[in-house]
Amino acid sequence: MSDTSAPNGSPAGSPLLSAAESEKMQAAFKDIAERSQKLLKDFSERYQAEGPQAPDPLRLTQTFMDFTAKMIADPAKLVQAQMELWQQYMRLWQVTTQRMMGQKVEPVAEPAKGDKRFNDPAWKDEVVFDYLKQSYLLTARWLQGTVKDVDGVDAKTAQKVEFYARQFMDAMSPSNFAMTNPQVVKATVESKGENLIKGLQNLLTDFERGKGKLAIRQTDMDAFKVGGNVATSPGKVVYQNKLMQLIQYAPRTEQVYSVPLLIVPPWINKFYILDLKPENSFIKWATEAGYTVFVISWVNPDKELTKLVFEDYMKLGPLAALDAIEKATGQRQASAIGYCIGGTLMATTLAYMAARNDDRIVACTFFTAQVDFTEPGELGVFIDEDQLAGIEEMMAKKGYLEGTEMATTFNMLRANDLIWSFVVNNYLMGKDPFPFDLLFWNADATRMPAAMHVYYLRNMYQNNLLVRPGGIVLDNTPIDLRKISIPTYIQAGKDDHIAPARSVYKATQLFSGPVRFMLAGSGHIAGVVNPPRAKKYQHWLNDTAKNPPTLAEWQAGAVEHPGSWWNDWDKWLSEKSGPKVPARVPGDGGLPALEDAPGSYVKVRLIE
């Protein structure tokens, strides 16, 4: 029998490795073996200490069993759906055969506009990969259409099934597998498999970062440093308590408006989304516009703060900040901004203050903030009794929800962009993620104290009690949003998948004071962080005297304006911010400086 091996022992026809390449490959395999062994040892020890993990942490089994029962209850409809899929497959096979014979044909299925998974020309130019792509698209669209068309399923269950079916189909895309992604196949041949070896090392690195759980790197985490090249606006921490630090930013004008501005960011993420870099920093821009800017920097809670409740966030957050601002500036009144859940907190706080005749806030702005959760968007799929019970069970072990759990939830809303694109880049292509400050911020996760988070999810998202007068009581004070009579400016993002514009708009029908609603182009982040100098996106305004009942009616009479909305907001707020006074230097007022901005609370990281 003849020898079919190459001189170095490789199978005949395979790429030959030089001595240096062979040595490099052996070193890589040794590294992988050693790290894998350590991970398995750590997993074994954790398994013995914590016991087995729940096989269905999202508690979806019963949901899909109930859904499947309703689906098969109408077998004729199911057979019809399967026949339609087979007919589409037959059409695709015919078109593919015609193309292989040299005929020019039109595709049966094409990716949606903006679907980056199939950008490589090979998905269109190579018949095999084109067939894989179209077959996948047909199946995915058939499945999504089928789950929508099942009788007897309530709207909540249908949304839940549709969302998780989409997660499954996104995961099964041929772009996510080495042998069915033309870019990966090409890279594997050209690098003689080095991309897959490097990808495996990247995978192990991410398991190590996550202490046994996969923590996918979306960017080069070593390329950024909080206070170094992100969150760099100069200022001082002038007050702190166990829940937050209050930062006063240095003025950039000789005179400032007499009324200071307090920014209340979400505690689900860190505040420096508003101060990523000088050219797109809202905080820097606001100081340049003549405002004395204060920002709350929330603590990253640990086991010592697990008992904190929503009321604590109000008292130790904006209310404590107002007290501190008065001491720092001598000015009793301030304006405020609430971003996302920080906006939900601000609305609650304003109603609380109104009930107590506290007029210290003269005007308030809301960035992508929901107060009526009737239509919370896709985040609503995570809010039902089964899944809330699962979250509570998860939090009960430590007293808080891990920041990585929240990050995964938000990433699932855009899984192809925020999960699977990095799986392909990091693990299949073997590349390191590109340095990107926004994704560095996105990965800088924060914990949620159990008591507060359960209160928020159940009272706001699940039961929508905030819109009911007296539905929520804080510090023995019934909360009624209709008592908010100060001027408000409400911003929503047209493409926001976290706080949908139609949901944000509902606040215009609740507040009793004058409300200026503005719809910005783009989504939850870019719709907010859009400096005028960028000349990106657009915004819409409707100057009718009274906001109509629905967003659709408001849009019908709205006028589109190019670029950023920040100047419109500045014009609105400046008229409510009092006369100009000499600029205030942080630490020179009634409160001494404790440390330089951005402070120490924001620098506590969960994963490096």
| DSSP designation for 529 | S
Report which DSSP code applies to 418. Answer: I
Q: Known catalytic residue: 340?
A: yes
pLDDT at 56: 60
With H, G, I as helix, E, B as strand and everything else as coil, classify residue 516.
strand
Q: Token digits for 525?
A: 């982040």
Q: Of these residues, 340, 353, 401, 597, which one is catalytic?
A: 340
Helices (H), 255-309: 282-288
pLDDT at 538: 97
Each residue of 156-204: pLDDT tens digit? 888 888 888 899 999 999 999 999 999 999 999 999 999 999 999 999 9
Q: Give the torsion sign (CA, 405, 411, 412, 416).
A: negative
User: Tell me, what's the pLDDT at 8?
Assistant: 43
What residue ranges define each of the domains in the chain, with the CATH number in brackets? 61-192 (no CATH), 235-375+475-593 (3.40.50.1820)
pTM of the model: 0.88
d(CA 80, CA 61): 26
- The token pair at 519 is 């719809």
**Confidence at residue 55, expressed as pLDDT on a 0 to 100 scale:** 56
Q: Which residues pair with 448 in a beta bridge?
A: 401
**Angle, nearest 10°, between helix axes 61-72 and 155-171?**
100
Per-residue tokens: 30: 């040794």
pLDDT for the residue 64:
76
Quick one: pLDDT at residue 33? 78
Please report where in the chains the tokens 């806030």 appear, as a residue: 361
Residue 29 contacts residue 197 (beta carbons within 8 Å): yes
Query: What are the residue ranges in the chain where pLDDT is below 50?
Result: 1-14
- Going by C-beta distance under 8 Å and a sequence separation of 6 or more, which residues neighbour residue 201? 28, 31, 32, 35
pLDDT (0 to 100) of residue 409: 82
Please count the other Cβ atoms lying within 10 Å of the Cβ belonging to residue 608.
8
* CA dist., res. 175 & res. 183, Å (int): 9
| H or E element in which residue 295 lies | strand 293-298
pLDDT for the residue numbered 53: 60
Residue 475: Cβ within 10 Å count: 12
Beta bridge partners of 256: 581
